[in-house]
Amino acid sequence: MRTPQALPIDATTRQLVAALCDPAALTGASEGSWSGLLGAARKANLIGALAARLHAAGVVARPRAQRHLAGALQLAARQRLSVQWEAQQLQNALGALGVPVVLLKGAAYVMAPHEPPLGEGRMFGDIDVLVPREALGEVESALMLAGWVSGKADAYDQRYYRQWMHEIPPMQHIHRNTVIDVHHTILPLTSRNAPDPAQIIARARPLSDLPALRVPAPEDLLVHSITHLVHEGELHNGLRDLHDIHSMLQRFSSEPGFWGRLLASGAGNDLAGPLLLGLRLTQAVFESPVPAEVLAALDAEAGPRWRRKWLPGIYARALRPANDESAGAAEAAARFVIYLRSHALRMPLPLLLQHLSIKAWKSLRPQDRPVADG
């Protein structure tokens, strides 16, 4: 079983990573080992992925653990069906507009025509889509007619999203309660990095049975997953996202021309720095296959803040789930550093201070506090 130790990763996380990389090594594991492993996988939102890896390898756990794993596979299968249903509803709602609608993240993993499917066993949350910015108005109107409504009623929150962010406020369906995040780019408009979403949309591949919808090209799917991870301020799903990236690297790295296309998608779209950090982190934690010349090319293009050697170590500590009772001060400090860093990447300092001041003031106003249930 592989046990990556290049970074300060706790023993429980190392055990989970090793199990995902080499599930066959778990054959004959004790009941206690299975219990600890499943607990760690559940906290990291990776129990479905672990169950899928074990199933593919033909590894059968101890009876009690096997029941939990079977339940995780059933839940993951049901969620995949739910994503497929929501994709059909998006086709119905947006198909007449003639607007390219690119599925992102989990929805793209489900709908991409790859065999075996990407993200097997993965648990899903919201549906994320990318549309041209000039089409936001008609897309939002069409979704409202189909039953989705904005989940942000506050005037400041509406302005915050629409003026500065990379998406409009999340929309929730009035009957199904499903949430859709409509993006017009992949990073906030005020971010230090400014990728061109038109490149991602142009490279996206239409779905044969849902012509209004597209999935990103493999290189863009990977770059977006990495970009999201290294710009995120809270890493409660960080290890799950890192496993997604590792799985895509395993899947796509053997495709002819993949690494050249990945460099074009990253360095060629103002994302050399995020891509460099994400690949270094995935390589260190999961021993993912990354050619040295790719890292060297990205290092030459990335800015100084992305080349800092201590960053993967900070992320490795922050990947530990916040609900892990055994996490200590070092992990809490790492999460705080990541939180501050994400905000510094997202906004210039004057705008950030303005935003945080307004949010703090609003939280003190009695009318903005939630009313407790009687």
The 10s digit of each residue's pLDDT in 88-138 is: 999 999 999 999 999 999 899 999 987 777 888 888 778 999 999 999 999
Following DSSP, what letter does each residue of 77-97 receive, concatenated?
HHHHHHHHHHHHHHHHHHGGG
The 10s digit of each residue's pLDDT in 6-35 is: 566 778 888 899 999 999 999 888 888 899
In this prediction, residues 202-208 reach a mean pLDDT of 94
Mind listing the domains of the chain with CATH numbers? 11-365 (3.30.460.40)
Computed on alpha carbons and rounded to an integer, the radius of gyration of the chain in Å comes to 21
Burial 224-244 (b: 16+ CB within 10 A, else e): bbbbbbbbbeebbbbbbbbbb
Residue 106 in tokens: 């989990």
pLDDT at position 4 is: 41
Output 325 or 84, whichever has higher pLDDT. Answer: 84
pLDDT at position 223 is: 96
Of 220, 228, 134, 140, nearest to 180 by C-alpha is: 140
pLDDT higher than threshold 90 for residue 313:
no
pLDDT higher than threshold 80 for residue 364:
no
pTM > 0.75: yes
Residue bearing tokens 């906030």: 188
